[in-house]
Structure 1
Amino acid sequence: MEYGAGWDGFAAMERDVRAMVADPRWPLTPAQGRADAIARRALATPDGVCWLFGAYARWYRLDPDGQWHLSAPPAAPAIRAATRPVTVPIPYWVVPTGPDHAVDRGSTQAFVGPDVPAEVTERIRDLIVAHRGLRREDFPLTGGPFRQVFAAEVPSTVATVWGTVMWCAYAPAFDGNEVILSMFGEFLARPLPGDEFVRWLPPVGLTDLVDLYAERCRAGAHDAGLRLAELMARTADVLRADPRFRPRASALIGMIEPLLTQPWLDHTALQSGAVAHTWLLRCPPNLAAAALAEVSPGDHFRHVFYDLVEALAFTADTGADPRAVAASLLAADVASVTTDAVTYLYPWMDDGIRQALYVTLADPDHPLRGCWPVDGRLPAGLTPPDRSTAAALLGAAYATGLAWCELAGAVPPPTGFPVSGAVGQCLVNDRDDLPREPTTTPRKRVTETTSDWLYSS
């Protein structure tokens, strides 16, 4: 390797590891051989910290206590240019297996600014229209979180489409005029949480979605249960056209497809109540990262916080450290909900992020407090340069908020987190949707419903 002018150790080592893991011989190499190859490709920055590009095609940082943490690398060119390769002992879990490096990250953009493509919304509309009229006796919505969302007469088929959309979304923050929400308007029991501009929706767990299918099977209506599973797969197949849905949609299809050809697969799991776990076991290895929230809330928090740091990469152009900025913005959201959450978050952070989060929360005069939103708006230096960057930052910030709330057992605020709300203000005048129609416009059927229902109380 050349270490002269223009050397970027992180970029060079990432290219080297990616090429090595992509080699067809990599999965056939003994585990120790793979570990040794990765260990020889670590990097040391001028401050003595070691970094490694490993599992899930992401970077890891070695803390002084010997623990490796998933952590986005430094952005400053001077630091990246001053790195040197080193060899360090590493644990087995940071070594790429092969399939994990083929992970599809999709897009971290929220559904504010860029709308869901019309071809996706129209195909989802077709699924709703085709399944809305099925007998509620055959597809009852008996309980669970969907029962609180939908009116009493709504069949579980509609809830299945909705639940699939929400589960597949990277970050379920939607424009108040988003068509994919508006078409569900006549089925809802109450207005969705949020404000006139953004609907801050709670996450849907895989167990909640799977229970729609499992309830029918346990009730002896196995064919109805399989029809709901097929509807989930068909909905996910439509959603794959949008990168904000694609990774989780592909993972869901991978879990369901074997069941559709072998309908007896979940027989034992239905008796034991472990259906969601059984579905996760069927998730293809290269898509496992998309379902990480179901397996390890802590690791999921690490990954979405990594996304947040990457979404803030534009701040490096002003000399800021995206890692420190991300820690400060996390502190702003934590302070608005409960500072007790840090007890649950600290173990999942590297030492640098942990210290930045601590000092930002503890010292009102610390310079990192300058990153916090003021009067619902971001400081000028943190304003994203364009719509796509703002949408990506909004999605990553909201996903991070939901992730740390899940990890800490906190309740996400129904009006959104301060940071994602402030990022949303950057998109108010840069949206795809047209101004909503006057409220005097007669209501239409679900096939062409307006968004007026979103603003009623």
Structure 2
Amino acid sequence: MAAVRTWDAFAAAEAEVRAMVADHRWATLPAPARARAIAARGLGTPDGDRWLFGAHARWHLHDPADGRWHLSPPPKGGRARRVGHAAAALPSRVIPQGPDFAAEPGSTQAFIGPDVPAALTDQVRVLLRASGRRSEHDFPLTAFGEIFASDVPGTVAAVWGTVMWCAYAPAFDGNEGLITIFGEYLRRPLPGDEWVRWLPAPPLLDLVALVAERVRSGRSREALRLTAVMADTAQVLLADPRFRPRALALLTMVEPALDRPGLDDRAALRDDETVRRAWLERCPARLSRAVLAETDPSAHFCHTVYELSEALAFTGDPAHAAATLLADLSDSRGMLPGRLDHRLRRAYGELARAGLTGTSAAESTEPDGFPVLGPAQPLPAGPHERHGQVAREGEGWHVPARAPGHHVVSGFEIEPPDRVSAAAVLGSAYAVGLAWARVSGARVPERGFAGQSALVRRVAHERDDVPS
């Protein structure tokens, strides 16, 4: 007898919403009608949570504490029933517009484990060699001076900056060929260790600065050459899904300037920021999520947390697993919990009461710092538990007290089933750290966040190459 396939309420609701938004009539519907259509397909789970599949083709979870909707992937295999929601209460940001459902699919993997394709590296090497032959007098290093020696031409920086800006999460194997080809140009060793280079994600303004300075110096031809180097590099990067969404976005921003020389000259004469805004305005709506780090850092952080939770779906409790990695973030002002949904907030609060948050900021890890908790070790009771809650400073948030007998698994004990899953966890976790740095101003540890570094050591033997 054939097995009966279990009906998945989340998959069914998602399919319905996708079909509605794909219909050409969706764009012509008035906003209230769109809200009613989305609200009518809300789901409820036995634990009382309410879910909507909405903007950006992602799930949103209702926070019973304050009524906000948070980006959050649904539970795998969880039971749910249609409950609907008051359409008038839905904020416009959770209603699909249409283009947001056509976002370019990419990958949340870091460049740790699976290598960058050799053909891609070879093509970038060709561009880099040609760029390295340019004169630093014609192409001064007006950005990335902390990376490259002073006699390196800006064309080299344009290749590097494009690679780093387009990367979803620029964490690379220490021996990754795409990084080692830049070795002769570097001012100093890159941050990280022999296993991983935890590299900074440059703002778009750094790429703009290379071009705009040449325009202001009356060297429009050189400005055009730098723009072409960025476009050529981005074109090569399209072959790897870890670069593709942002590479496409960058191409839509710079190619018009190649087709119409002088397009950004007036903006460049004003300042770099005006050029940056002009570039971003040329990015189509379907690629808007790829540039959220530039246009809305807070929303970008929420999306990276969503992607981290998705990457941890193989664990028994993705919310608790994600919280152990979020615990690495420095949050002296108490800003983080208010940006998390109530499930993540609860898990994060348990770690906070155990003194296991802000671990990377303190730069203290096992064995000299905090103890690593395992699944058999319950958390100690919080020192200030009262009436089932623990109050914390910052944005008036409250963390429910730990449930009796509940255990929390340390981020050091996350065990991905394969290296593809490990790369996705490392990539999304590092992307969260970079996004949080943009939102909070917290620094990114040079040798990586504690939990991520520990995971690297656990999967290092699965790399494509091993340092000798």
Q: TM-score, normalised by structure 1?
A: 0.87
The alignment partner of 1:52 has SS state of strand
Contact 1:149 1:190 in 2 (8 A): yes
| Contact preservation (8 Å) 1:42, 1:88 | no
Alignment correspondent of 1:311: 311
Residue type of the alignment partner of 1:53: F
Alpha-carbon separation, structure 1, partners of 2:117 and 2:407: 38
Quote the residue 1:212 is aligned against. 210
TM-superposed deviation, 1:171? 0.6
Out of 229, 251, 267, which is 2:227 matched to?
A: 229
CA distance in 2 between partners of 1:292 and 1:50 (Å): 26
- The residue correspondences of 1:382-401 to structure 2 (distance < 5 A) are 382-401=414-433
Question: For 2:454 and 2:124, how far apart are their aligned partners in 1?
Answer: 30
Deviations 1:208-267 (A, max 9, x none): 111111111111111111111111111001001000000110110011111111223323
**In the alignment, structure 1 residue 360 sits paired with structure 2 residue 351:** yes
What is the CA–CA distance in structure 1 between the aligned matches of 2:79 and 2:140, rounded to whole Å? 61
Whether the aligned pair in 2 keeps the contact of 1:8 and 1:83 (CA below 8 Å) is no
Q: Which residue of structure 2 lines up, in the alignment, with residue 325 of structure 1? A: 321
Hey, what does 1:270 align to over in structure 2?
268
What residue in structure 2 maps to residue 73 of structure 1? 74
Paired residues of 2:238 and 2:248 also in contact (CA < 8 A) = yes
- 1:368 CA displacement: 7.6
Corresponding residue of 2:123: 123
**Secondary structure of residue in 2 paired with 1:427:** helix
Please name the residue that 2:392 is paired with.
none
Q: Is the 8 A contact 2:44 2:83 kept in 1?
A: yes
> Which residue of the partner structure matches residue 443 of structure 1?
none
Higher helix share: 1
- The alignment status of 1:410 with 2:442, answered yes or no, reads yes
Structure 1 position 369, deviation (Å): 7.3
The reply to whether residue 100 of structure 1 matches residue 132 of structure 2 is no
RMSD: 1.8
Give the direction of change, closer, same or farther, for the CA distance of 1:435–1:414 in structure 2 (3 Å limit).
Answer: closer
Q: Please say if residues 208 and 276 of structure 2, whose CA atoms lie closer than 8 Å, have aligned partners that are also in contact.
A: yes
Say if 1:360 and 1:368, in contact at 8 Å, map to a contact too.
no
**Residue 451 (structure 2) aligned to one of 401, 419, 441:** 419
Distance 1:435 1:359 in 2: 38
Contact 2:195–2:467 (CA under 8 A) maintained in structure 1:
no
Residue 444 of structure 1 corresponds to none
Pairing 1:4-15 to 2, within 5 Å after superposition: 6-15=6-15
Shift of 1:322: 0.6
Structure 2 vs 1, CA of residues 340 and 105 (structure 1 numbering), >3 Å: closer, same or farther? farther
1:111 Cα deviation from its structure 2 partner: 0.6
Give CA-to-partner distance per residue, 1:397-443, whole Å, 9 cap, x none: 1111121122111111001001211221233111223655xxxxxxx
Alignment map for 1:4-83 (pairs within 5 Å): 6-64=6-64, 65-75=66-76, 77=77, 80-83=78-81
| Unaligned residue ranges in structure 1 (runs of 5+) | 437-457
Q: Unpaired runs of 5+ in structure 2?
A: 356-378, 381-404
1:429 corresponds to: 461
**TM-score of the two chains, using structure 2 as the length reference:** 0.85
Q: Secondary structure at the match of 2:314?
A: helix
Query: Do the aligned partners of 1:254 and 1:283 also contact (CA within 8 Å) in 2?
Result: yes
CA distance in 1 between partners of 2:239 and 2:105 (Å):
14
* 1:371 and 2:421 aligned: no
When structure 1 is superposed on structure 2, of 259-268 and 386-395 the one drifting more is: 259-268
One-letter amino acid of the counterpart of residue 332, structure 2: D
Distance 2:256 2:146 in 1: 31
Contact 1:55 1:94 in 2 (8 A): yes
- Given that 2:46 and 2:79 are in contact with CA atoms closer than 8 Å, whether structure 1 keeps it comes out as no
1:147 matched residue in structure 2? 145
Question: Is the aligned partner of 1:340 residue 2:372?
Answer: no
Amino acid at match of 2:67: G
Mean Cα deviation higher: 170-179 or 5-14: 5-14
2:145 is paired with a residue of what secondary structure? Answer: helix
- 1:330-363 CA-partner distances (Å, limit 9, x unpaired): 11x12xxx3415x222332222222221221113
After TM superposition, the structure 1 stretch with the greater mean CA deviation from structure 2, 87-96 or 162-171, is: 87-96
Q: What letter is aligned with 1:234?
A: D
